[in-house]
Copies of this chain bind each other. A is one copy, B any other.
Amino acid sequence: MKTLSSHAIGLVGFDGDDTLWRSEDYYRAAEQQFEQILGHYLDLGDAGTLGHLLAVERRNLAVFGYGVKGMTLSMIEAAIELTDARISARHLQQVLEIGRVTLQHPVELIAGVREAVAEIARDFGVVLITKGDLFHQEQKIALSGLQDLFPRIEVVSEKDAATYARVLAEFDLPAERFVMVGNSLRSDVEPVIALGGWGIHTPYEVTWAHEAEHDVAAGEPRLREVPTAAGWPHAVRELDALARSAHGA
Given A69-B70, A85-B89, A85-B93; A135-B64 close (CB under 8 Å): yes
Indicate the member of A66, A86, A92 with the most B CB atoms within 10 Å.
A92
Contact A73 B96 (CB under 8 A): yes
Candidates B79, B80, B93, B157; contact of A80 at CB < 8 Å: B93
Least CB distance from A186 to B in Å reads 18
Given A64-B103, A65-B133; A80-B89 close (CB under 8 Å): yes
Which residues of A77-106 have CB atoms within 8 Å of chain B's CB atoms? 77, 79-80, 83, 85-90, 92-93, 96, 99-100, 103-104
Q: Which residue of B lies closest to A166 (CB)?
A: B153
Least CB distance from A87 to B in Å reads 5
- Is A155 in contact with chain B by the CB < 8 A criterion? yes
Contact residues in B for A225 (Cβ distance below 8 Å): none
- Is A63 in contact with chain B by the CB < 8 A criterion? yes
Complex Cα gap A87–B91 (Å): 12
Which residues of A155-175 have CB atoms within 8 Å of chain B's CB atoms? 155-157
Complex Cα gap A99–B77 (Å): 12
Contact A65 B136 (CB under 8 A): yes
Complex Cα gap A133–B92 (Å): 24
Candidates B69, B86, B87; contact of A69 at CB < 8 Å: B69
Least CB distance from A84 to B in Å reads 9
Contact residues in B for A63 (Cβ distance below 8 Å): 100, 103-104
Candidates B86, B96, B103, B157; contact of A134 at CB < 8 Å: B157
Contact residues in B for A24 (Cβ distance below 8 Å): none
Contact residues in B for A104 (Cβ distance below 8 Å): 63
Besides A80-B93, A85-B89, A88-B89, 15 more A-B contacts (Cβ < 8 Å) are A63-B100, A64-B103, A66-B135, A76-B76, A77-B93, A77-B96, A79-B89, A80-B96, A85-B88, A85-B90, A85-B93, A87-B89, A89-B92, A92-B92, A133-B134
A-B contact pairs, 14 of them (CB 8 A): A63-B100, A65-B134, A65-B136, A69-B70, A73-B99, A77-B93, A80-B96, A85-B88, A85-B89, A87-B89, A89-B89, A133-B133, A134-B156, A138-B157
